A and B are shown apart, each in its own frame.
Chain A
Amino acid sequence: MIESNLPALQVVLPLIAAPLCLLLRRSTLAWLVAWSASWSAAAISIAILLKVLSSGTISYAFGGWAPPWGIEYRVDPLNGFVLVLVSVVAALIVPYARRSLLAEIRSRQHYLFWTAYLLCLTGLLGVTITGDAFNVFVFLEISSLATYILIAYGQDRRALVASYQYLIMGTIGATFIVIGVGLLYLMTGTLNLADMAQRIAQMPLVRPELAALAFLTVGISLKLALFPLHLWLPNAYAYAPSVSTAFLAATATKVAVYLLIRFMYTVFGQSGIFDNLPFEEMLIALSLAAMFLASIVAVFQDDVKRMFAYSSVAQIGYMTLGIGLANASGLTGAIVHLFNHAVAKGAIFLLLGCVALCVGQPVISKMSGLAKRMPLTAAGLVVGGLSLIGIPGTVGFVSKWYLVMAAVEKGWWWLAGLVVISSLLAVVYVWRLIEVCYFREPSQKMSEAKEAPLSMLIPAWVFVFACIYFGLDTSTTVGTAAIAAQSLLESMQ
């Protein structure tokens, strides 16, 4: 009974837990609810992924209404992988969040934070698991609205502006998506993604279809912060509470990247719509712009959170680059980078949260001498940074290997060169931080600081270890990503 309903529970569990937090009102109780909901969601997602890998795609008819009339939840290796990523990250952040929230948010507001956190998780999981186009929009809105709250809780008053900025951009994005979905519904008469894909493939190519593609692409690109639609992201990440930044950086943009893959490959993949469109070329060009320009901007940031936010924009460029390359290696690289970057950025933003707890807003001048006072935090930041550069032995290397290989396989030498050169820019901003942390004398405030509490260090270091472990033994991550890429490319045939 429970086993057959796992896909529904995946979303319903955090959805029910969210209002529960609202009713309980007590900070600790709400935290415990969030803890149990997120850890159960993680367990469920792992069970689902294992089932998908052993016995193929799961189709779950919501409420017993058979697809394509009812809402279908459909899990294949790709979204099974993303579900695990999102829910495990969410689960690991909850124990970390306790101390960090006490320092950054007034305790009588904690239950509201947890409500928003669980709603955001619900939305992200829903977007990922559903096989229904309108459902995608609904869950996307749930997660976005919750995200605006999560950002607005930042201590800095600029958090409100950042949240508002994101609200405007996010709403435009969501509107575009719903217009795109509406156009597709108009053309095909169905909202089920699999059904829609089949019908589009049989239809002659007409203009509304192109318009739908355009609206969807721009809408989703706003959500995933594809250059030049990334302007909301740096401020949002920089001024949000540490917990929110870590959670959003590791999950929200990744789900949007998933959505782009889903629409591009599953829905439009068989239609031949890309044959006469320079779609992939455009995606590659924008990705390159993101990789270079965002990295260059990152070099000049003084706020370390902002610096890594720009680095995120650049790293998202690697993912969209892999999607644009559209061969097995490229797509595998994109999917595995989704995971790898989540792990690395999760580690970095959690550790910056430790810094924020001990010395306040992490600007580069305040971080001098970090290694002397907080050696574990500093060492973790180094590992995360090396991973962004793509040093072998860390996760970043694995993704870069696939992206470069994809470019070489296509015979695009210039692109292989640009990928490796862009990662040299990461050396510059990462090393700038390392020098400050290790070779400057501690500032006044730093010399009084002590290492962060274990309840924060342990979850952060789980991410740090994951950075190394999944950089050395990639059978799980690359294995799953390769299967997912394979099935996507097959579905296009």
Chain B
Amino acid sequence: MSAMEPQIALAVPAVGAVLIALTGRWPNLREAMTLVTAVVLFAVVASLLPEVMSGERPAVTLFTMLPGLSVALRVEPLGMLFGLLASGLWIVNSIYSIGYMRGNNEKNQTRFYVYFAIALASTMGIAFAANLVTLFLFYEVLTISTYPLVAHKGDRDTVRSARVYIGILLSTSIALLLPAIIWTYVVAGTADFTPGGILAGNITGPAVGLLLALYVFGIGKAAVMPVHRWLPAAMVAPTPVSALLHAVAVVKAGVFSITKVIVYIFGIDFLFAQPGSEWLVYVSAFTIIAASVVALRQTNLKRLLAYSTIAQLSYVVMASAVLKPLSEIGAAIHMMAHAFGKITLFFAAGAIYTASKKTEITQLRGIGRRMPWTMTAFTIGALSMIGVPPTAGFVSKWYILAGAFQADNYVALFTIIISTALNAAYFLPIVYWAWFSKEDSAPTKPHGEAPVAIVIALTITAALTLAFFFFNQTALQLESQLVGRQK
């Protein structure tokens, strides 16, 4: 079969959104539509993989947005990995959504599935964007299409949190990212993602650091402090949204964009040679430590996971900022490893809420005996966050550490060591309480596991977290192309 063209990956969820809207009256059909769309999307994205692995770069130009600047797609290794990740986990997440939305009798379910599909379409657009303008277009579409998902509940507090969400994401992107893109375009005469970067020779001195800052803080989705506040605010959304969007698609779109800008716009060699970009390592290191410390103090499970996400995202940013081939590979792999682990943790949190309506970590004593599948998955996810073998988190941490050694970057090294300890400090007590403590009091309504769809979903992602430790060759081969190594 000849490979599909990349625009089909955008068209599938977009058409899916229309079909979901049309079949909204019949819940079974509507949800079947969601699943079919997710499976087809994954098949389309996967069909691009062999081509990209063999060094091809499928590309298409859609239309001219500005003279010399087209809305265009081009599949390169980093985007390939991100596309596979988001579309693959969407299938699992759809199974989970069905269990969760029905289990909790949520309102406006059709709207939920429609905007979810639109969000996935724009995620594909971000993954395959061939230039900065295309990236920016889909970045904003993703922000706006996730707003109704965050504000789903529609009550006063939710709307207020959603306002923080949209306010921070829109204002950082318009006030910082857009000028950065225009600046790049004016000095380089192009905005295409080019291997080796486009800025070398066009900009020097402190301006490099400033431009990098505009990008890093303009891409608010990466949640580098101090633009991280939207992520805890977004936790008012239903758990499937937190799981796929705020642990995978949206936040990864952020760190993915930063990595892509560093690799294809600045070029790592150019940036490494320039003074004035080390600050990014410090800022992301600070974010990692600070977010972990804040996570230690959280009592709400979802908020704890949100702060853990902020810390883990900055791992990716820090790995990119180390500017060595191995660390760039580590950044790409960590996007994937963290996605598997964190979506499992969110799935578990939602499962606990659906089965028992518990949201605080102090309520979790002894819950392992009532929900053994859920808590096993949670334990695997937590171990992956800490980076214990045999989980996915170990693989990526290995590469990031190797990159840090390559660059003699001791700040990065120590940050990883300290944060590993902090991760253990906030995850292991939960695991311990869940399995080895006795329940304070028996719940008024005895419960077992969450609905079966939820259990299936979190079992799959937990299995993926383990499997990625053993089967990561494809991803590594793909990403070694990113830094110009042939397999």
Q: Is the beta-carbon distance between A439 and B151 smaller than 8 angstroms? A: yes
Chain B interface main SS type? helix
A391 to B166, CA, bound (A): 13
Given contacts A386-B144, A473-B64, contact A424 B182 (CB under 8 A): no
**Interface majority SS on A: helix, strand, loop or mixed?**
helix
| Interface assignment of A479: CB less than 8 Å from any CB of chain B | yes
Known: A420-B174, A420-B175. A475 touches B64 (CB 8 A): yes
Please judge, given known A-B contacts A393-B140, A405-B186, whether A479 and B67 are in contact too, CB under 8 Å: yes
By the criterion CB–CB under 8 Å, are A472 and B71 in contact? yes
Bound together, the chains give a CA A416 to CA B186 distance in angstroms of 13
Query: Is A416 a contact partner of B159 (Cβ separation < 8 A)?
Result: no
Which B-chain residue is minimally distant from A479 (CB atoms)?
B67
Q: Judge if A478 is at the interface, Cβ distance under 8 Å.
A: yes
Once the chains are docked, how many angstroms separate the CA of A421 from the CA of B170? 11
Interface residues of A in 414-434 (CB under 8 A from B): 416-417, 420-421, 423-424, 427, 431
A478 to B178, CA, bound (A): 19
Residue pair B171, A393 in contact (C-beta under 8 Å): no
Residues of B within 8 A of A439 (CB): 151, 154, 159
Residue B482 interfacial (CB < 8 Å):
no
A427-B67 in contact (CB<8A): no
Query: A458-478 toward B: CB 8 Å interface, digit per residue (1/0)?
Result: 000000000000011111001
Bound-complex Cα distance A120 to B467 (A): 72
A399 to B404, CA, bound (A): 44
Q: Does B429 contact A (CB under 8 A)?
A: no
Task: Flag if A474 contacts B182 (CB, 8 Å).
Answer: no
Q: Contact: B65 with A472, CB < 8 Å? A: yes
Q: Choose among B133, B154, B182 the residue that contacts A392 (Cβ–Cβ < 8 A).
A: B133
CB atoms of A427 and B64 under 8 A apart? no
Q: Tell which of A398, A405, A423 touches B182, judged by Cβ atoms closer than 8 Å.
A: A405
Q: Which of B148-183 contact A (CB under 8 A)?
A: 148, 151, 154, 159, 163, 166-167, 170-171, 174-175, 178-179, 182-183
CA distance A472 to B186 in the complex (A): 21
> In the complex, what's the smallest C-beta–C-beta distance from B151 to chain A, in angstroms?
6
Q: How far is the CA of A187 from the CA of B183 in the complex (A)?
A: 45
Among A393, A400, A416, the one with the most B-chain Cβ atoms within 10 Å of its Cβ is: A393
Does any Cβ of A come within 8 Å of B185's Cβ?
Answer: yes
A185 at the interface (CB under 8 A from B): no
- Residues from chain A with a CB closer than 8 A to the CB of B175 are 417, 420-421, 424
Interchain nearest-CB distance for A229 vs B (Å): 29
Q: How far is the CB of A415 from chain B (nearest CB, A)?
A: 11
Count of chain A residues with Cβ under 8 Å from any Cβ of B?
32
Closest residue on chain B to residue A424 by CB atoms: B171
| B171 interface neighbour in A390, A405, A427, Cβ under 8 Å | A427
Chain B residues with Cβ under 8 A from A474's Cβ?
64-67
Flag if A473 contacts B63 (CB, 8 Å).
yes
Q: In the complex, what distance in Å separates the CA atom of A416 from the CA atom of B175?
A: 9
Q: Does B136 contact A (CB under 8 A)?
A: yes
Q: Quick check: is B141 within 8 A (CB to CB) of the other chain? A: yes
Tell me if B137 counts as interface (CB < 8 A to partner A).
yes
What separation, in Å, do the CA atoms of A471 and B178 have in the docked complex? 16
Chain B nearest Cβ from A397, distance in angstroms:
8
A417 touches B179 (CB 8 A): yes
Q: Which residues of A contact B159 (CB under 8 A)?
A: 435, 439
Cβ contact within 8 Å between B65 and A473: yes
Which chain A residue lies CB-closest to B62?
Answer: A472
Neighbouring B residues of A386 by C-beta, 8 Å: 144
Min CB gap A433→B, angstroms: 13
Complex alpha-carbon distance, A393 and B67, angstroms: 15
Most central of A392, A404, A431, A475 by chain B CB within 10 Å: A392
Please list 23 pairs of residues, one from A and one from B, whose beta carbons are closer than 8 Å in the complex, sorted by A's number. Answer: A389-B170, A389-B174, A390-B174, A392-B136, A392-B141, A393-B137, A393-B140, A398-B66, A401-B182, A404-B179, A405-B185, A408-B179, A408-B182, A408-B183, A409-B186, A416-B179, A420-B178, A439-B154, A472-B63, A473-B65, A474-B65, A474-B67, A478-B67
> Which residues of chain A have a CB within 8 Å of any CB of chain B?
386, 389-393, 398, 400-401, 404-405, 408-409, 416-417, 420-421, 423-424, 427, 431, 435, 438-439, 471-475, 478-479, 482
